[in-house]
Structure 1
């Protein structure tokens, strides 16, 4: 029988493993929080934020449960809160590994419906996640009733098969959803992140089973006890770091650098998707005169006018309607033959403007909102048409009348006039005048010189 720190905990390798898992947890928190802190990005209220948050919570539970259930730390006496069934069964099972894996299944489920079925998932994430967590809760309750754990929080051999089977079935479900979306040309590494997670999950279960068997068979070898639990905690740290991903829930956020000095490479989804001229104003763009009597929807097609109108609307704290128009306009630039990019953009617009509680929720009718949320084709070119018509009418009634008498319009007129004058000047000075040809030829022309190549045999002094 092993003794000393191998049984009681507190070996040097134990503290090294704790340090590694702590670093993993800190890195995990930084990946979740820093994009919002560094770049002041508004936090979404949907599953795009809370699923990654639950992943971090589950990761913390998993690491802490392994730490407290396998005697990494040496305690002088045992306390009630060190119960094996609290940490090794409930926290490590349903609210640790099970919850972590269920979050990834929920994300893969969302990707399957959005990109393969081309519609929003029929079950909300906050309903789907508890449903797939039910087998884990039932298993933990059954173990708590039967109490198969010994004083070292180890279970008998007869329990290893059902426990491993539950883990394996969850991974098979994740593999199934991932395999169903493998043909999609994702733009933000969603598929790669899922496969990496599956690989590490399978490796983690293999390490866990091997460590369990070695601990049970060779419980008299001290170094084996220490090494197996060290490997178990380090592997768990690698698992939580690899399994966490923002690409599935918030693809645009996953591309943002965490360094403050680096500018945002992709400020908008349009830029991230490579939509032509997304967010750009070229200096050589033709400048057209704006006639206030023209329909607003026609005027908004002019990019310079649209940006001026957006600035005015933002100053009135009513910019969400114009921003919505701008992003729907960007969506229209994506060819119909590219449904994946269209779905990315449509999903982004729905998350940002359409869903209840969205960061820039627009004021549209319930019918138009439900028409979008229950669509059977997210790549439909007319998906936002009714909502857009409603908002244009709303802007005509509210914003447009005030805009024509605002300083924003006066500034826009002045800039348009200056650009128009500069453009005319460029045209005048840009003529390609050909050099004047002299009517005097030969020796009568004092400026006429002929240059002959060397060795031509011509002597200019003859």
Structure 2
């Protein structure tokens, strides 16, 4: 395989530039995907928040490579079936390239619509919904393959451009429809802006693609037009894959720790990222509470210092997920009922982290309670996690509470409380040896090095630490 001998020296130069830009685009795309997981140690989830970006990168690679191969950037002898125009210009560039890119974005918009407008989890899983909406593209590619309208340069006749462009436009229209249905939601991150950018660049790409193919068919003899059109096709595709790529629609927090952030603000918990007052903070000015082991555990856990000590003990026993779940639900309880958007963010985060099967810290609750949460008709409901929390509390009372009172963690907690009550202010709590495995600071899902883009968070009330 070798680079095509160009009729003009400038043509070769522009081909090299276009290919170099597409390679840099893929490198940047991979960096944006991997940096949160490799550098910021964000845990890999099993849901669509991880697999949709992976599929997006795969589709982007297919799109760019198919354009390079099928639009005469590379010239080679087509000796095998997999080198034919119908493999690259129809299948790889179509269903596995542009079609898959748009399908990923439509799937993310579909999720946002159900979660924030319908206030429930989508009724169709992403791994089912994505292939379903890709079916029209697969059918179209199969039809073209049977009719074989491509010439030796992998170009269709002009009369084929209209139905093919219509198929492209259909997916952009679906994206516009879902985006229009959620435009009124006051998102805390960049979901809506990312969708509009995706629509803009998708529509622009279709316009460039249609114009380039029509001009190539009408003015086949003009070499500079051939060179310019394929240059624009590859450059536009490189821009498109960057514009469409965003983790915000499925994992909004991951977008904030991507390469585009400039002035990061560190958050240790999801509650802090959403602007929940005093989330995860241990204030030295807090009143010292006298801890009585005879008090109910659920009442004792309302004290933040006790909760941190108990959490550290549970982590040391490799059973900290129950306490962390309680802590996250406690933070959710600080959000007012009339703030459904933030409540949905927090509720969905808790579901992904603790409730769904195979979650990073899946809690041990009954199937009935789990399904009650997963099939809820209102993700912002104030009692969404009540039954699960009661079951988790019973497990903590049975398995952890009795051992805690005789542990060194409780002894150190009492010592710290005694020192504070005598007016000896500690600059930092060094007595609690938080487990690096599951503690709230060093857990696999944090720190959230997020940039807080929310509006009006400084005006939030509810500064108390009660549920």
Common fold by TM > 0.5: yes
Q: Distance in 1 between matches of 2:289 and 2:60?
A: 56
Deviations 1:127-159, CA, capped at 9 Å, x for gaps: 100000000000011111111101000011221
- For 1:341-364, what per-residue CA distance to the aligned partner results, in whole angstroms no more than 9, with x for missing partners? 001100110111111111111110
Q: Measure, in 2, the Cα distance between the counterparts of 1:388 and 1:201.
A: 45
- Matched residue SS, 1:333: coil
SS at the partner of 2:289?
coil
CA displacement, residues 201-227 of structure 1 (integer Å, 9 cap, x when unaligned): 000000001111111111111111111
Higher RCO, 1 vs 2 (CA within 8 Å, ≥6 residues apart):
2
Q: Partner of 1:406 in structure 2?
A: 407
SS in 1 for 2:291: coil
The two structures have a TM-score, normalised by structure 1, of 0.88
Unaligned runs of 5+ in 2: 427-467
Please say if residues 38 and 258 of structure 1, whose CA atoms lie closer than 8 Å, have aligned partners that are also in contact: no
Match of 1:38 in 2: 39
The corresponding residue for 2:78 is 78
CA shift at 1:235, angstroms? 0.4
TM-fit CA distance, 1:74: 3.7
CA displacement, residues 101-138 of structure 1 (integer Å, 9 cap, x when unaligned): 00000000000000000000011101100000000000
Specify the alignment match of 2:207 in structure 1.
206
Q: Which residue does the alignment assign to 2:451?
A: none
Rounded Cα–Cα distance in structure 2 between residues aligned with 1:341 and 1:327: 13
Q: 1:287–1:118: structure 2 CA closer, same or farther, 3 Å change rule?
A: same
* Deviation for aligned residue 1:8: 13
Say which is worse superposed, 39-48 or 100-109, in terms of deviation: 39-48
Q: What is the match of residue 64 of structure 2?
A: 63
Structure 1 residues 402-451: Cα deviation after superposition (integer angstroms, max 9, x where no partner): 111111111111111111111699xxxxxxxxxxxxxxxxxxxxxxxxxx
Q: Is the 8 A contact 1:256 1:266 kept in 2?
A: no
Separation in 2, partners of 1:6, 1:104: 40
Q: Which residue of 1 aligns with 2:355?
A: 354
Spell out, residue by residue over 1:376-420, the C-alpha distance to the aligned partner (whole angstroms, 9 max, x if none). Answer: 000100000000000000001111111111111111111111111
User: 2-side partners of 1:420 and 1:400: how far apart?
Assistant: 24
Q: 2: CA distance between counterparts of 1:79 and 1:184?
A: 54
Check if 1:379 corresponds to 2:410: no
SS of residue matched to 1:382: coil
Deviates more, 1:10-19 or 1:232-241: 10-19
Structure-2 separation of matches of 1:298 and 1:356:
29
Residues 1:7 and 1:154: Cα distance change in structure 2 (over 3 Å): farther
Change (3 A) 1:73 1:366: same
Superposition TM-score, scaled by structure 2 size: 0.87
- Hey, what's the Cα distance between the residues in 1 that align with 2:8 and 2:51? 39
Task: Note the residue ranges of structure 1 that are not aligned, 5 or more in a row.
Answer: 426-462
**Further displaced range: 9-18 or 220-229:** 9-18
In structure 1, the partner of 2:168 is 167
Counterparts of 1:129 and 1:47 in 2: how far apart (Å)? 10
Looking at structure 1, the residues matched to 189 and 178 of structure 2 have their Cα atoms a distance apart, in angstroms, of: 17
Q: Root-mean-square deviation (CA), in Å?
A: 2.1
Match of 2:331 in 1: 330
The alignment covers a number of residue pairs equal to 422
Counterpart of 1:396 in structure 2 is 397
Which structure has the larger Rg over C-alpha atoms?
A: 1
Aligned to 1:298: 299
Output the CA distance in 1 between the equivalents of 2:313 and 2:85. Answer: 62
Per-residue deviation, 1:4: 4.9
Equivalent pair of 2:183/2:192 in contact (CA under 8 Å): yes
Output the CA distance in 1 between the equivalents of 2:334 and 2:47. 27
Once residues 369 and 9 of structure 1 are traced to their aligned partners in structure 2, the CA distance between those partners, rounded to angstroms, is 63
Q: Residues of 2 paired with 1:260 and 1:361: CA distance? A: 31
